[in-house]
Amino acid sequence: MKYIKGGVCAAKGFEAAGIHCGIRKNKTKRDLALIYTKKRAAAASVYTQNLVKGAPILVTQKNLADGYANAIICNSGNANTCNANGIEIAEEMCALTAESLEISPSDVIVASTGVIGQPLSIEPIKNSMKRLADALSADGSVSAAEAIITTDLALKEVAVSFTLNGLMCKIGGIAKGSGMIHPNMATMLAFITTDVAITPLMLQKALSADVQDSFNMISVDGDTSTNDMVSILANGEAGNPVINSEGEAYDIFCKALSMVTRFLCRAIAKDGEGATKLIECSVTGAKDKNTARIAAKSVVCSSLVKAAMFGADANWGRILCALGYSGAELDVTKIAVAFSSDPGTVDVCKNGTGIPFSEENAKNVLSADEIKILITLGDGDASAVAYGCDLTYDYVKINGDYRT
């Protein structure tokens, strides 16, 4: 398996496009994206656990009831959430997409991202749909990635190639997410495409399992968005025998999917609003997987830990504090903590107590733009990794006037 170029257009049979249609006032910002496969594809999605859900999620859930789709339409600049006519607008977006591509409206995944509670006019989308469809291209992944971002500073795009039964297969994805990130599926959106032949049932199983260790292990600010969605389309163009059960082929596919999702997770965390550092918390020695996940997520969610990382302060007591209130079953007297980055590694805690370390070395390690917090619980063999970022002055500045 290896990383390749192409994003959501790397897999055979997929095209994408992104344009400015007028939802966003800034005409230099793309705000409408389209991903399309002529061959009807197996489809799967996971959604936010927030009880307040954007209208597009409700429409997509209905459309994917049969497990198939041809297209994904997504706008940025407006979340189409908590609007009286939200369902109507989302359904109209599907209808317009279907008309332009000559497919069924029920074969369209629809998504929106942006400000909550602001009316979304269908007119800019309606007036631009033909132009968007005409712009579809096998080189359109970047333009689509640009069209789904809001406060993101960096594009999030990746693709992986691998073999199944001697055949070359590809899987790629794009994502957006910078603030309101605390997926529990999963403000983030991710769209993934693959040319692997797999049944909708097995595709959903693979995606649902994957997000437990990928998108559900990210936190930028602890806020679970109303519009979070991860969707995947598998059109079977690679020609491999259809994956309809667990086995070697399914395991290989899941590994490739994991490479894509974890790449996007790190990109989302690193691009957190106002962030200057990516924080990766690795928990090992847990008695079970769930304990490891809870512990790792608690640390990256801690505002005090995040603030300490911003200041390059090796305040390891905040990490033990976060572990202590996480709800994970652990023996404090067995915990060890270390910080690691390109400049090196510094041990700061063993057996639940502090040990002598060089503050100068620690400062150097924590001044890097990617930091690993290494935690050993000493209770078993399970492990998990969570992704987050530091908490900076700019986060407050960005969100203090986000709507206005």
Spatial distance between the Cα atoms of 37 and 302, rounded to a whole number of angstroms: 42
Tell the residue number behind the tokens 């908590």, with chain if given: 82
Whether 187 is catalytic is yes
Q: In what order do the strands lie in the sheet with 382-389?
A: 353-354, 344-350, 336-341, 370-376, 278-286, 382-389
Asked whether the beta carbons of 70 and 108 are under 8 A apart, the reply is yes
Spatial separation of the C-alpha atoms in residues 90 and 54, rounded to whole Å: 9
**Among 46, 49, 157, which Cα is nearest to 111's?**
46
Tokens of 34: 């389209």
For the record, the structure tokens of 123 come out as 């007119």
- Which DSSP helix (H) or strand (E) runs through 14? strand 14-19
Residues 296 and 386: their CA atoms lie apart, in Å, by: 5
| Secondary structure (DSSP) of 364-390 | HHHTSSEEEEEEE-SS-SEEEEEEEE-
Which among 37, 81, 187, 376 is annotated as catalytic? 187
Give the alpha-carbon dihedral of 184, 322, 387, 223, to 10 degrees: 40
Question: In DSSP terms, which residues pair with 68 in a beta bridge?
Answer: 42
Could you tell me the two tokens for 289? Answer: 């997987």
Q: Nearest CA to 9 among 33, 35, 44?
A: 35
The tokens for 280 are 């990766």
Rounding to the nearest 10 degrees, give the CA dihedral for residues 49, 53, 57, 59.
130
Note the maximum CA span of the chain. Answer: 68
Distance CA 91, CA 98 (A): 10
* In 65-166, beta strands by DSSP E: 68-76, 108-113, 156-164
Angle value at C-alpha 185, between 183 and 191, nearest 5 degrees? 80
Quote the tokens at residue 97.
């997409």
Question: What's the token pair of residue 304?
Answer: 């005090």
Give the tokens for residue 367.
């001044």
Residues known to be catalytic: 187
